[in-house]
């Protein structure tokens, strides 16, 4: 049973470009969470999704950030018009049962030049 | 919303000694408390968790205790080894919010 997959592992973007981060949950998991981790800091909740539904996006900036988890395919976190402050590690986690026992992917390290 | 505080931020122990990391939470409705270990550049890994209907849970050298009345929980690592060196995060889960709130992390250094 493969774990949570994320790609790309490293992403470099120039200011103003778009970043697309992908997350494939563990088999049988229908709950996906996205977190942001700044260097030397903790994990900050961004958004919680189930298939085709955003359940809680209270941790996600209102502008430039969006997330989806379509019926088929991975969950996508999209950052438009990236700025240097968006540089961070973005982790997704999946859970079989709505938050309990979240398993993390390897993360995508976004660098904005 | 939930607020989780974690102490200490850094902890250095000698190999073989015990390490204790403490967390407090604010939401009395929180009912699930996992601990994650994160090595440098790696993903957080779930190492142990405890639910609110249990006061203590042990897994080999790792144990977690929960005091619901005081709203705090602790991670205990005995007989520490160099490979225990990492950042440890506690978290609290509230069913109504369906999300984890993480503490700020403790950097544990096990020295020879």
Successive 10-residue mean pLDDT values, chain B, 112 residues: 93 98 94 95 94 92 96 97 97 83 96 92
The pLDDT mean for chain B works out to: 94
Q: What is the pLDDT of residue A6?
A: 97
> What digits encode the pLDDT tens for the residues A66-75?
999 999 999 9
Distance from C-alpha of B92 to C-alpha of A45, rounded to nearest angstrom: 12
- Both tokens of B67, joined, read 């005091």
Cβ contact (<8 Å) for B99 and A56?
yes
Cβ contact (<8 Å) for B89 and A100?
no
* Residue A48, CA distances (Å) to A20, A43, A79, A101 in order: 17, 14, 16, 14
Three-state DSSP at A85 gives helix
B49: chain A residues, CB-CB within 8 Å = 101
> What digits encode the pLDDT tens for the residues B69-95?
999 999 999 999 999 999 999 999 987
Distance from C-alpha of A15 to C-alpha of B110, rounded to nearest angstrom: 40
- Residue A70 sits at φ, ψ, to 5 deg, of -70, 170
Find the mean pLDDT for residues A20-31.
94
Spatial neighbors of A91 by CB under 8 A, at least 6 apart, are A6, A34, A35, A36, A37, A43, A104, A105, A107, B43, B44
Q: What is the pLDDT of residue B98?
A: 78
CA distance B87 to chain A (A): 10
Which of B6, B47, B100, B101 best tests the A interface by mutation, with the highest count of A CBs <10 A?
B100
A107: chain B residues, CB-CB within 8 Å = 43
Q: Which of B36, B99, B103 sits opposite A33 (nearest CB)?
A: B99
Distance from C-alpha of A19 to C-alpha of A79, rounded to nearest angstrom: 5
Gyration radius (Cα) of chain A, Å? 13
> What digits encode the pLDDT tens for the residues A92-102?
999 987 778 89
Q: What is the pLDDT of residue A1?
A: 55
């Amino acid at each position: 049973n493969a774990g949570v997959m994320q790609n790309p592992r490293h992403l470099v973007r120039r200011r103003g470009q778009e970043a697309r981060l992908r997350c494939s949950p563990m088999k049988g998991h229908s709950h996906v969470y996205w977190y942001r981790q700044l260097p030397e800091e903790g994990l900050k909740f961004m958004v919680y999704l189930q298939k085709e539904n955003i359940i809680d996006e209270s941790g996600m900036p209102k502008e430039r950030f969006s997330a989806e988890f379509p019926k088929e395919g991975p969950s996508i976190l999209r950052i438009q018009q990236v700025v240097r402050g968006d540089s961070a590690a973005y982790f997704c986690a999946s859970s079989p049962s709505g938050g309990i026992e979240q398993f993390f992917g390897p993360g995508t390290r976004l660098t904005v030049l | 919303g939930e607020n989780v505080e974690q102490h200490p931020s850094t902890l250095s122990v000698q190999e073989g000694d015990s390490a204790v990391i403490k967390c407090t939470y604010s939401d009395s409705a929180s009912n699930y408390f996992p601990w994650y270990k994160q090595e440098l550049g790696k993903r957080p890994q779930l190492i142990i968790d405890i639910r609110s209907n249990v006061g203590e849970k042990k897994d080999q050298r790792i144990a977690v205790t929960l005091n619901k009345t005081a709203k705090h929980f602790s991670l205990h690592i005995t007989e520490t080894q160099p490979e225990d060196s990492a950042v440890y995060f506690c978290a609290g889960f509230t069913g109504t919010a369906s999300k984890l709130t993480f503490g700020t992390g403790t950097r544990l250094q096990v020295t020879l």
